[in-house]
């Protein structure tokens, strides 16, 4: 047992709640009609999640969960997602228990000298998506006015801009007429795979930077990324969002598996673009948001409860450690979408509530939560994670409080984070960003023609799993 200030308080809380709920059985007791009850339950689940973190102990590395394999279960990116979950937890509930360590961890993992979340310790498993999840966490911190780092440390907005700049510099047209590769170092397994998650995370950050800074260049990159992702066939006319394809096949061998983070991150980015744009552009993004939302709910929320369809099967679970955390990203993206695209609010609140009810039923009184939310009980699934299960349940509870928050801030509506449009440029010779041309937007469409003629997608997922290096 660790006795830092945060965990000592958490331990006392766990004892109190466990004892108080003993008379009601061994399930977490939550009244979803009471904000106070939701906050109390979220606090218990957050304390349980924190028990998996070791970075606040003497001699440990701030900002990482135990790993990466074989040293521990968790790849680097998942800690970035955890701190994003904790920022949302603070934003929705007001509980600042984990704020100091969150600030310290983000700064530590930013990675000198570029401060673009390209820490040299994680080169062996550095994907554009891994970097991007940390970048989205920094962007969130800027949007909600999370306590800023010391003035001498890198600032959240600049960190998000550095992430964007380094990734924009990696966009290449030689293979598949555009897009980002999965992995950053060319020696990494998966470098020849252009996956959806890397590209939609880039779109997400670009859209949020456009809205925060009112800089149209970021918006053009978001639109360019949508055009390419749709044009290459990763987004279908029915708003299925597929996984990716290989560059040696010119991205025609599309893997049609549908993982929830692809849809979730894309939906959130599209909603931000709807909020940022006006006129015909806004109408186009509204159509995209509505289509993505309808298909996402239909596919991932059978009977109103979140299911990670590719690996959470009726008779067995074959999800890996990463995939055990995916449900939380969906809940967080849906809540953010409801805030910035109000026409989606009623339908999103309905599904968030029904899915959170399933999540709560999977949790024990001490805040230990299961993976399967549609079973009405704790499933005992601890073989993969289980920090991901805790992150997901915490996100589900926290996002039910979305009415407690206003929209994400901008630098003209009270956002205080300091930016740097050239951040990250020391990692490369950053060329001036040129305007997006009609030829760029046509590139994805050209690839679509090839895809239609040679679609040979396979349901078999790459051996390493989403976000991992095999």
Residue range 393-439, pLDDT digits in tens: 999 999 999 998 889 999 999 999 999 999 998 765 434 444 444 44
| Range of weakest confidence among 82-91, 285-294, 459-468 | 459-468
**Residue 7: pLDDT band by 50, 70, 90 thresholds?**
very low
Could you tell me the two tokens for 167? Answer: 């990734």
| Range of weakest confidence among 10-14, 119-123, 192-196 | 10-14
Residue 241's DSSP bridge partners are: 235
- The per-residue pLDDT for 18 is 39
Task: Note the residue count of the chain.
Answer: 470
> Per-residue pLDDT averaged across 370-396, rounded?
95
- The per-residue pLDDT for 429 is 42
Q: Above 90 in pLDDT, residue 442?
A: no
Q: Above 60 in pLDDT, residue 165?
A: yes
> Per-residue pLDDT averaged across 141-170, rounded?
98
| pLDDT tens for each residue of 301-334 | 999 999 999 999 999 999 999 999 999 999 999 9
- The per-residue pLDDT for 2 is 29
φ, ψ at 194 (rounded to 5°)? -100, 105
CA distances from 353 to 247, 335, 424 (A): 41, 11, 40
> Per-residue pLDDT averaged across 2-11, rounded?
37
- The per-residue pLDDT for 16 is 38
The 3-class secondary structure across the chain, one letter per residue, is CCCCHHHHHHHHHHHHHHHHHHHHCCECCCCCCCHHHHHHHHHHHHHHHHCCCCCCCCCCCCCCCCCCCCCCCCCHHHHHHHHHHHHHHHHHHCCCCCHHHHHHHHHHHHCCCCCCCCCHHHHHHCEHHHHHHHHHHHHHHHHCCCCCCCCCCCCHHHHHHHHHHHHHCCCCCCCCCCCCCCECCCCCCCCCEEEHHHHHHHHHHHHHHHHHHCCHHHHHHHHHHHHHHHHCCCECCCCCECCEEEHHHCCCCCECCCCHHHHHHHHHHHHHHHHHCCHHHHHHHHHHHHHHHHHHHHHHCHHHCCCCCCCECCCCECCCCHHHHHHHHHHHHHHHHHHHCHHHHHHHHHHHHHHHHHHHHCEECCCCECCCCCCCCCCCCCCCCCHHHHHHHHHHHHHCCHHHCCCCCCCCCCCCCCCCCCCCHHHCCCCCCCCCCHHHHHHHHHHHHHHHHHCCCCCCCCCCCCCCCC
> Per-residue pLDDT averaged across 117-142, rounded?
96
Q: Above 90 in pLDDT, residue 456?
A: no
| Range of weakest confidence among 52-61, 132-141, 395-404, 459-468 | 459-468
- The per-residue pLDDT for 25 is 59
- pTM value is 0.88
| pLDDT tens for each residue of 76-95 | 999 999 999 999 999 999 99
> Per-residue pLDDT averaged across 12-22, rounded?
39
Q: Above 70 in pLDDT, residue 470?
A: no
Q: Where are the domains of the chain?
A: 5-454
**Residue 383: pLDDT band by 50, 70, 90 thresholds?**
confident
| Range of weakest confidence among 261-270, 315-324, 443-452 | 443-452
Tell me if 98 sits within 8 A of 42, measured CB to CB.
no
> Per-residue pLDDT averaged across 231-260, rounded?
98
* CA torsion angle 141 146 147 151 (round to 10): 30
> Per-residue pLDDT averaged across 135-160, rounded?
98
CATH fold of 5-454 reads Glycosyltransferase (1.50.10)
- The per-residue pLDDT for 428 is 55
Closest CA to 168 of 126, 132, 124, 142: 132
Instruction: State the Cα–Cα distance between residues 257 and 251, nearest whole angstrom.
Output: 15
Closest CA to 198 of 296, 279, 255, 126: 126
Instruction: State the Cα–Cα distance between residues 311 and 296, nearest whole angstrom.
Output: 16
Closest CA to 260 of 206, 297, 222: 297
- The per-residue pLDDT for 1 is 27
Q: Above 90 in pLDDT, residue 157?
A: yes
φ, ψ at 373 (rounded to 5°)? -100, -5
Would the CA dihedral through 436, 441, 446, 448 be positive or negative?
Answer: positive
> Per-residue pLDDT averaged across 176-194, rounded?
97
């Amino acid at each position: 047992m660790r006795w830092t200030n945060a965990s000592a308080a958490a331990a006392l809380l766990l004892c109190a709640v466990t004892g108080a709920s003993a008379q009601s059985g061994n399930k977490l007791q939550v009244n979803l009609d009471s904000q106070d009850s939701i906050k109390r339950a979220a606090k218990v689940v957050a304390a349980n999640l924190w028990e998996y973190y070791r970075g606040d102990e003497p001699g440990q590395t701030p900002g990482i969960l135990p790993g990466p394999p074989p040293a521990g279960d968790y790849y680097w990116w998942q800690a970035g997602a955890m701190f994003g979950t904790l920022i949302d937890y603070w934003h929705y509930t007001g509980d600042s228990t984990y704020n100091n360590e969150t600030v310290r961890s983000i700064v530590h993992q930013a990675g000198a000298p570029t401060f673009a979340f390209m820490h040299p310790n994680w080169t062996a498993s550095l994907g554009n998506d891994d970097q991007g999840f940390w970048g989205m966490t920094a962007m969130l911190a800027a949007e909600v006015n999370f306590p800023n780092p010391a003035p001498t440390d890198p600032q959240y907005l600049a960190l998000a801009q550095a992430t964007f700049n380094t990734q924009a510099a990696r966009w290449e047209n030689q293979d598949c007429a555009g897009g980002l590769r999965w992995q950053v170092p060319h020696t990494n397994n998966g470098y020849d795979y252009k996956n959806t998650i890397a590209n939609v995370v880039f779109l997400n950050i670009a859209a949020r930077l456009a809205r925060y800074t009112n800089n149209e260049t970021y918006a053009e990159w978001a639109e360019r990324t949508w055009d390419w992702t749709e044009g290459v066939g990763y987004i279908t006319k029915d708003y299925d969002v597929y996984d990716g394809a290989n560059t040696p096949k010119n991205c025609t061998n599309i893997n049609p598996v549908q993982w929830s983070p692809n849809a979730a991150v894309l939906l959130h980015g599209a909603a931000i673009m709807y909020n940022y744009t006006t006129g015909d552009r806004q109408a186009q993004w509204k159509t995209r948001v509505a289509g993505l939302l309808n298909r996402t709910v239909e596919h991932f929320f059978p009977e109103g409860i979140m299911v990670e369809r590719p690996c959470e099967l009726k008779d067995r679970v074959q999800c890996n450690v990463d995939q055990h955390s995916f449900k939380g990203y969906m809940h967080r993206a849906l809540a953010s979408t409801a805030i910035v695209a109000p026409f989606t609010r009623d339908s999103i609140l309905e599904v968030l509530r029904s899915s959170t009810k399933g999540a709560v039923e999977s949790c024990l009184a001490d805040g230990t939560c299961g993976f399967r939310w549609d079973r009405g009980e704790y499933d005992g699934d601890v073989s993969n994670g289980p920090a991901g299960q805790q992150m997901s349940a915490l996100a589900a509870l926290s996002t039910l409080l979305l009415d407690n928050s206003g929209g994400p801030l901008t630098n003209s509506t009270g956002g205080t984070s300091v930016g740097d449009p050239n951040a990250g440029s020391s990692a490369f010779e950053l060329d001036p960003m040129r305007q997006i041309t009609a030829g760029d937007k046509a590139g994805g469409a050209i690839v679509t023609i090839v895809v239609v003629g040679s679609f040979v997608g396979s349901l078999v997922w790459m051996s390493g799993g989403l976000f991992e290096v095999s």
